Amino acid sequence: MTGEIVVPVVGLSALLPALVVVGAGGLVLLLDLLPPRASKAHLGTVALAGLVAALLVTVSRWGTDDRAFRDMVLLDNYALFFDVVICYAAALVVMLSMDYVGREGGESGEYYALVLFSTTGMLLLASAGDLIVVFLALELMSLSLYVLAGFFKTRLVSGEASMKYFLLGAFASSFLLYGIAMLYGATGSTNLDRIAGSPAARDGDPLYLVGLALLLVGFGFKISTVPFHMWAPDVYEGAPTSVTALIATGSKAAAFAALIRVLVVALRGLQPDWTALLWSLAVVTMTLGNLAALAQSNLKRMLAYSSIAHVGYMLVGLVAGGASGAGAVLFYLLAYTFTTIGAFGVLALCQRAGEEAVEVSEYAGLARRNPVLAATLALFLLSLIGIPPLAGFVAKFYLFGAAVRGGHVWLAVIAVLNSAVAAYYYLRVLVYMYMREPEAGGAGYVPSFAGGLALAIALIGVVALGVMPAPFADLAQGAVTPLLR
């Protein structure tokens, strides 16, 4: 072998947010080996500091357009917007975990390290410019989450959640990888820009279509759209509540980030095809998610089905297309992240007789026992319904407005009808909290400073996004422009 080796240009600046988080993860692992061995609470603080640092780095780099490793990693406004959402979600989850995980008997250094490693995967997923990076980042995120889902080792449901998530997740990953192979076979590249510019993209190569379908299956699993949603209720129910919050928000936001970038950049030649596919996926996902949620008595399962329905709404924005549709999805994800973390956060901070309180009936009369907590949960649920002036209303307004402007009036009608159906199961919880007699020994608040602070931040976010949405909506619109050049 002769010839000079070309030393690649290492552009670490495009990786900076992910590097900060993975560095914090390594630090947590090292500190875990040092005393004090009895308590691991300080590791949560280190993890939180790392995430806040990553958040600051992200905000300070707003407006850059960094490309590194031959366009494999892109740090544009689009990636930075998602980085903010993901870092917020992870930071709130760490704050909620500080007392919750120790209380439920699963405290260890690995917990925070795994949260940080999965966050790294999410950040990379948001800035992936190549299908190989998409796959690697998705695996980094998912493998950490599989372990986290089974973190309560002595609980059967937790192990079941981990096992189901792992088996079905690995199955879905193979679909994704097969789709990537098909696209590579059709176009000769895994780079998103080069896939879009290849001749196969114009000629309608059947391999290209098969690749699109397989990719949609893989992503559909990660964001839990309906034919691929079976894992969600069991995993959400069995996993530690703080981990459930991370799976429902951070991992979903990251998978959406990659999905939108792949569809809008690499597969823009197939827009009519994937619009038709997503149209039907959106309808089934919304409808089935909401109908199944009606029958749940376990709050974690109810929120799982509700999060499936919310994915259906977000797909409406993707179908609407264009800058307004994609921008509306980004805004929706921001609002959804704050609201969902808040709702799961309240569950994480409630106990009944030393056990986690997850049944709706356990929340009967909560308003009389703890008016502040009941009002907090009520606000999060009202935002999930989409009641003004909360974040959920504005987000839905943008989303359905974009659908109507995009000419998908029927889709918007179905989505609005679904929102009306959904109001029933959210309001049922409110009825229990405010209008039922308190049960003896019902769910009660377990004091936690970090957890309470996290709830307060989420609540401020929900109200702020609802009262003055314009600046955030402009940010979301600005974030999608780099995609649509």
Binding stretches for another protein (CB under 8 A)? 4-5, 7, 26, 29-30, 32-33
The smaller minimum CB distance to another protein, of residues 150 and 386, is found at 150
The smaller minimum CB distance to another protein, of residues 2 and 154, is found at 2
CA–CA separation, 366 vs 341, rounded Å? 20
Task: Let me know the angle formed at the C-alpha of 114 by 152 and 15, rounded to the nearest 5 degrees.
Answer: 160
The smaller minimum CB distance to another protein, of residues 30 and 435, is found at 30
Minimum distance of another protein from residue 4's CB (angstroms): 7
Q: Are 422 and 302 within 8 A, CB to CB?
A: no
Minimum distance of another protein from residue 93's CB (angstroms): 23
User: If we measure between CA atoms, which residue out of 225, 250, 391, 247 comes closest to residue 308?
Assistant: 225
Tokens 């089934």 sit on residue: 284
Q: Are 210 and 182 within 8 A, CB to CB?
A: yes
Minimum distance of another protein from residue 22's CB (angstroms): 9
CA–CA distances in Å: residue 59 to residues 65, 86, 87, 320: 13, 13, 11, 29
The smaller minimum CB distance to another protein, of residues 19 and 375, is found at 19
The smaller minimum CB distance to another protein, of residues 32 and 359, is found at 32
The smaller minimum CB distance to another protein, of residues 28 and 134, is found at 28
Minimum distance of another protein from residue 296's CB (angstroms): 36
Tell me which DSSP letter residue 127 carries: T
The smaller minimum CB distance to another protein, of residues 22 and 235, is found at 22
Minimum distance of another protein from residue 143's CB (angstroms): 13
Q: Are 21 and 28 within 8 A, CB to CB?
A: no
CA–CA separation, 226 vs 210, rounded Å? 20
Strand boundaries in 273-349, DSSP class E: none
Minimum distance of another protein from residue 31's CB (angstroms): 11
CA–CA separation, 92 vs 301, rounded Å? 21
- Please state at what angle helix 231-238 crosses helix 299-320, rounded to 10 degrees: 130
Residue 174's contacts (CB-CB under 8 Å, 6 or more residues apart) are: none
Minimum distance of another protein from residue 26's CB (angstroms): 6
